[in-house]
Amino acid sequence: MRKALCITLVLIAFPVAMQWLGYLFYVSFASRVMIYAIAATSLNLVLGYGGMLSFGHAAFVGAGAYVASILVAEGVASAWIGWPAAVAASALLAWVIGAISLRTRGVYFIMITLAVAQMMFYLVNSMKAYGGDEGLTLPRRAELGLGLDLGDEVVFYYVVLFVLLAALYALHRVVHSRFGRVMIAIRENGARVEALGLPVYRYQLLCFVIAGAAGGLAGALLASHGKYVNPNVLHWLQSGTLMIMVILGGVGHLWGGAIGAAVLLGLEHVIADYPLPWLAQVAPNYQQHASLGVGIVLLVIVLFAPQGIAGLISRRKNA
């Protein structure tokens, strides 16, 4: 609890410090990291607590991003309409995809979630009215009212921070609720949960829908943040990125998604924007292959810290 409070205080103070130092870019960057943190946290609910290897989470993020963007493009600028609409659309999509894919197990489940997400990718690609493969540029971010201008990077940052903290708190509550206990038990031994009289399919589907809805909210924030959305937000590589974030940060750890998003995006940023002369001598163009560096880090984490970075931290605390 104290740890959470410390992190929250640091995150609240962050934009103030950056403004003072003149690094306003990092406020916007941090917003992006936190949006990915929300998306990865929602995937962690499915992957880490539900034990469902969904390889199509980008479909929900993307659906949210597109629904929110299309509404803004059509003149419905209010976030109070656009964001709930994005959440509802992603929840509905998750319900449909979940209802189909949860009838299968293992590799089949992975393949079906992947395939349906890719179908969404091609569908959006062909939506010429909304930019097709070129994507959709928005005239402005969504409007929140209440005297808050989301166009301001600092205001936007605090809104995203609020959503992230709310999402983490909600995850914390859900994990420790009756529903959460059942989900973890299904991850451990689904057949036995069924034998105790609980309808496993229904629990998994609901978990899938909740995570999809949260992913949709992240998507709506992401579209507003960049004032731009393109089909790549639904691409399976995006699903893979979210999965890598969860694995890096810690599968089934409350902070896993957030830590993973921060580490992965931070690493990409450092590799791309801070050239190392000695490394460039050995390997010219290495900055264009940032994913190689990320891959090596991921390999090390999977081999030496299968519980992810969050697992590493909590293990040291317990030792």
Residue 174: CB minimum distance to other proteins, A:
5
**Which DSSP symbol is given to 306?**
T
Residue indicated by tokens 């402005």: 140
Q: Which amino acid is at 191?
A: A
HSE, CB side, 13 Å, CA atoms: give it for residue 36: 25
Distance CA 284, CA 255 (A): 36
Residue 189: CB minimum distance to other proteins, A:
6
Contact (Cβ atoms closer than 8 angstroms) between residue 140 and residue 227 = yes
Residue 183: CB minimum distance to other proteins, A:
10
Report which of 30, 304, 235 is spatially closest to residue 296, judged by C-alpha positions: 304
Q: Would you list the DSSP string of 182-196?
A: HHHHHHHHHHHHHHT
Size of interface with other proteins, in residues (CB under 8 A): 24
Q: Which is nearer to other proteins, 172 or 269 (CB)?
A: 172
Q: Which amino acid is at 89?
A: A
Q: Which amino acid is at 194?
A: E
Q: Which is nearer to other proteins, 92 or 170 (CB)?
A: 170
Residue 210: CB minimum distance to other proteins, A:
8
Instruction: Verify binding: residue 1, other proteins, rule CB under 8 A.
Output: no
Site residues for other proteins, 199-238, by CB under 8 A, read 199-200, 203, 206
Residue 238: CB minimum distance to other proteins, A:
28
Q: Which is nearer to other proteins, 140 or 192 (CB)?
A: 192
Stretch that binds other proteins, among 127-135, 156-164, 198-206, 293-301 (CB under 8 A): 198-206
Binding mask of the shown chain, residues 158 to 197, with x at each position contacting other proteins by CB under 8 A: ---------------xx-xxxxxxx--x--xx-xxxxxxx
Distance CA 77, CA 258 (A): 28
The dihedrals phi and psi of 187, each to the nearest 5 degrees, come to: -60, -40
Q: List contacts with other proteins (CB under 8 A).
A: 173-174, 176-182, 185, 188-189, 191-200, 203, 206
